[in-house]
A and B are shown apart, each in its own frame.
Chain A
Amino acid sequence: MHAEERELVRIADRIRQQLLVHQSNRYRFVQGKLGCVIEEMQRFEAIRRKLDRCESRNWQGAAQRVMRQIEIAGRDMPYLLQGVTQAVESGKIAIPSSADVYRELLQAEEEFDELLVNRKSDIVAVSTDAIELESLYLGPFEIQLHIWALGEMRHDSAYRVVALDPQPAARNPVVTHPHVSDERLCAGDAGAAINTALANGRVCDFFLLVRSVLTTYNAGSPYVAIDQWHGTPCYECGYTTNADESHCCTSCDNDYCDECSSYCRVCNETTCLGCLDKCEACEDFICSSCMTKCPQCGMSICKTCLDEVLCPCHEEDKENEDESEGQGTPESTAGRTEAA
């Protein structure tokens, strides 16, 4: 629905109303911070009375303990006062007039060709052009300002970024843009400016800032990187898989498809076929962490076989011992008969 002048006036009033609510919430926040300082001051007062009593009764030992209490209590005070100062500073916001907000809405309509209004949901929105980042088509996005949420302390809950022609990442369907997950923008460098713009009712600046983030790719910290947008290629065979079908080898940290991955029979960790070796005792496939060498013969066996003395060389030794014991018995019987 396109905004008519009367509707824009109504929305401007509504936004201003919510900014006043936000300002009240800020005052309450400052009150809370002041409350903490006052509680601490009351503690100091109690300690002061204690010290007074100790001094008047010449209780030296007790006085020293009270001094220690003052020292400990004093460490928190600068932090509490700083909290009050910061809260007051961040609350220094000039609430714009409804006329100013109205002009913001008009400017937004010009910058984005259209301002969309959803009266029922209390949302005003603009749409971007189709966005393409490094040849990856992501489609256009709708930037929604939820007016009802402007009164909240945290402004990042007051807006959503909705994909109009969703091209989600293969490995995560709620990621529709490298910096948008579940319709929430991770604003990064724009966070402070967006919050300030919203707090000051500069609605058009807010929309422009969000668009600036959407049209920029930060390869340093996306939800899903562009080169992995369409899935993760198997390190072994190159087959592209999505998140559910890809397995990360705990030995080499590469991603593999179902066909090229398995697991260690000792520790059960996911391991690629290339990182598994066969235990020469039990013939199970084992990862390098669970593989060891028999101290006697140097054969590669798993730790389980080592602990349970299952290396083939021990069986050979046992056979040899058995053979030796069997040959020795007839000789001793013959000796005793001769002596008698």
Chain B
Amino acid sequence: MRILFINNHGGGFADYLNVQDGTTVEQFFDKQMRDCEPEGYLIRVNRQPVGRDYVLQEGDRVTCTPTKIEGA
């Protein structure tokens, strides 16, 4: 199934990704954001906070925004 993923870590680009049916938000994060701790991110699905075991649906919009970013 296809979802929209907006990764605000880095360039902030949005991509449509294919994910397996039954993928949870936690599994999705672990795959897309390797070496990152979920505690350091605001994760929203369809603009709402969700639990880590939320199962992604076709057409979901997932955003990841770091809670700590270094300014200059």
Interface residues of A (CB under 8 A from B): 103-104, 106-107, 178-179, 185-190, 192-197, 200, 202, 204-205, 208-209, 212-216, 218, 220-222
Contact = CB atoms under 8 A, between A and B. Distances in A.
A322 to B, nearest CB: 70
A190 B6 contact: no
B12 A196 contact: yes
A67 B15 CA distance: 47
Contacts of B13: 196
B72 A205 contact: no
10 contacts: A104-B47, A106-B47, A185-B71, A192-B11, A194-B12, A195-B12, A196-B13, A208-B8, A209-B12, A214-B71
Interface string B1-33: 000001011111110000000000000000000
Contacts of B67: 212, 215
A193 B12 contact: yes
B45 to A, nearest CB: 12
A100 to B, nearest CB: 10
B70 interface: yes
Contacts of B9: 193
Contacts of A202: 6, 12
**Highest count of chain A CB atoms <10 Å: which of B6, B14, B70:** B70
Interface of B: 6, 8-14, 42, 44, 47, 63, 65-72
B12 A197 contact: yes
A215 B70 CA distance: 9
Contact of B65 (A187, A195, A212): A212
A97 to B, nearest CB: 14
A218 B72 CA distance: 7
Contacts of B72: 179, 186-189, 218, 221
Given A107-B47, A192-B11, A208-B65, A216 B70 contact: yes
Contacts of A209: 8, 12, 65, 69
Contacts of A218: 70-72
B11 A196 contact: yes
Given A187-B71, A209-B65, A213-B69, 5 more contacts: A189-B69, A189-B70, A196-B12, A214-B71, A216-B70
Given A185-B71, A186-B71, A187-B72, A212 B66 contact: yes
Contacts of B69: 188-190, 193, 209, 212-213, 216
A236 B63 CA distance: 53
A205 B65 contact: yes
Contacts of B63: 205
A212 B64 CA distance: 12
**Highest count of chain A CB atoms <10 Å: which of B6, B8, B68:** B8
A202 B14 CA distance: 11
A151 to B, nearest CB: 20
B58 to A, nearest CB: 19
